[in-house]
Structure 1
Amino acid sequence: MDFAGAYSADNLRFLMEGLKMTLYIAFWAILLSFVIGCIIGVIRYMQVPVVSQILAVIVEVLRNLPLLLIIFFVQFAIPQINVFGLQFKFTVPAGAIIALTLFEAAMISEVVRAGLKSIPKGQVEAARSSGLGSIQALWHIVLPQGLRRMVPPLVSQFISLLKDTSLAVIVALAELMHNAQIIIGQSPNYSIPILLLVAMIYFVVNYTLSLISRRLETRTA
């Protein structure tokens, strides 16, 4: 084991560049998947005719496919599809964001739907009987309470998403694990030091998210 060589200034800088890419991908995937997942979850909770059924099929398909397969499909299959002369080609970071967003939005939509359904129907009926419409009851009664209950599972999904960015190494995304592999390739003596450092980085980032989750739970309790 060569800790001194593994932790050279150049190697550490290279790892930080990979971490920067990991956080960039995770940030946009979390933001987009949360917005899309909330929309899908609300639509399915409201049981909008036809649309809910179509979204249910899409969600079930995405949830039961390996994320790696979705990454491959977005990166390699979609660019081969020609629709009226149009082809969709993505950069590696954009493809990773799209794949992670699709997968996580399906997961988050189920968290949102379950959170909304956990609110007692009696509260909704009371709101409706007081003159509120279905949208108003959702906005003022169901959503505020449901969101508080969704915090722990949502943060768990976000942590999973951040860790799942490492799967994009298969399409040569220059994220943390990709850069770690390149450094390890310089010398087998770098393996343990670099992997220990990468493990610590992932732990610190994800543990920070867990602490934020606990703080949010305390505030909304």
Structure 2
Amino acid sequence: MDFAGALSPDHLTFLLEGFWVTVKVAFISIILSFLIGGIVGILRYASIPVVSQVLAVLVETIRNLPLLLIIFFTYFALPEIGIKLDIMYAAIAALTLFESAMLSEIIRSGLKSIEKGQIEAARSSGLTYVQTLNHIILPQALKRMVPPIVSQFISLLKDTSLAVIIALPDLMHNAQIVYAQKDAYIIPIIFTVALMYFIVNYCLSLIARRLEIKQA
């Protein structure tokens, strides 16, 4: 093992550049998937005729497809129908599509976990459906959604590494380039990459715990 050579200033800078790409792709995907997943989850919960059924089919289809296949589709298949995306945007689109489906189910399940008695009481007191959703259902459901949502965000951050198959210059891509230079670099580089992922994911876990405490 050659820690000194593997973690030279040039190599560390190269790894950090890849790590920045990983964080950027994950952050944008998290924001977009949370917004889209939230809208889809609420629409499915509302049981709007036809719309709810169509969304259910789409969500279940996407959830049961490998993320790797979706990444291939966004980068290699979309250009065949005239939609050509940059590597980074293809990765973001694939991650957003996949994670939106996952989050929509978490949000729908969280909303459905609220007792019907509370909803009926709110409606009988004169609140509209939207007011009941905003003031009664969502505040309580969010408390129950925080742990699985953060867990899904952690999975998303780790899943960015799959985009290495389309040569996204992320942390794993740059790590492979570095440790391919010398066998003695493999363990030091893998250890460093694992540490970087751990730090970010652990911070997300701490944020989740803080949110749970505040909402308790």
Band the TM-score falls in, shorter-chain normalisation: over 0.9
Match of 1:156 among 151, 158, 176: 151
Q: Percent identity?
A: 65
After TM superposition, give the deviation of residue 197 of structure 1 in Å: 0.5
Match of 2:165 among 158, 161, 170: 170
Query: Whole-Å Cα distance in 2 between the matches of residues 188 and 92 of structure 1?
Result: 29
After TM superposition, give the deviation of residue 135 of structure 1 in Å: 1.2
After TM superposition, give the deviation of residue 133 of structure 1 in Å: 1.0
- CA deviation vs aligned residue, 1:104-153 (integer Å, no higher than 9, x gap): 00000000000000110000000000011111111111011111110000
Q: 1:41 maps to what in 2?
A: 41
SS state of the match for residue 158, structure 2? helix
Query: Whole-Å Cα distance in 1 between the matches of residues 133 and 48 of structure 2?
Result: 14
SS state of the match for residue 174, structure 1? coil
Q: 1:54 maps to what in 2?
A: 54
Q: 1:104 maps to what in 2?
A: 99
Q: 1:201 maps to what in 2?
A: 196
After TM superposition, give the deviation of residue 185 of structure 1 in Å: 1.0
TM superposition score normalised by structure 2: 0.99
Query: Whole-Å Cα distance in 2 between the matches of residues 57 and 11 of structure 1?
Result: 46
- CA deviation vs aligned residue, 1:180-213 (integer Å, no higher than 9, x gap): 0000111111000000000111111101100100
After TM superposition, give the deviation of residue 163 of structure 1 in Å: 0.1
Q: 1:113 maps to what in 2?
A: 108
TM superposition score normalised by structure 1: 0.97
Q: Which amino acid aligns with 2:20?
A: K
After TM superposition, give the deviation of residue 159 of structure 1 in Å: 0.1
Which deviates further from its counterpart, 127-136 or 150-159? 127-136
Query: Whole-Å Cα distance in 2 between the matches of residues 76 and 175 of structure 1?
Result: 19
Q: 1:84 maps to what in 2?
A: none
SS state of the match for residue 119, structure 1? coil
Q: 1:16 maps to what in 2?
A: 16
After TM superposition, give the deviation of residue 10 of structure 1 in Å: 0.2
Q: Give the aligned CA root-mean-square deviation in angstroms.
A: 0.5
Describe how 1:87-102 pairs up with structure 2 within 5 A: 87-102=82-97
1:215 aligned onto 2:213 = no
Query: Whole-Å Cα distance in 2 between the matches of residues 49 and 132 of structure 1?
Result: 22
SS state of the match for residue 104, structure 1? helix
- Moved beyond 6 Å, runs of 4+: none
Q: Which amino acid aligns with 1:56?
A: A
Q: 1:146 maps to what in 2?
A: 141
- CA deviation vs aligned residue, 1:15-54 (integer Å, no higher than 9, x gap): 0000000000000000000000000000000001100000
Q: Which amino acid aligns with 1:30?
A: I
Structure 2 gaps of 5+ residues are none
Query: Whole-Å Cα distance in 1 between the matches of residues 49 and 130 of structure 2?
Result: 15
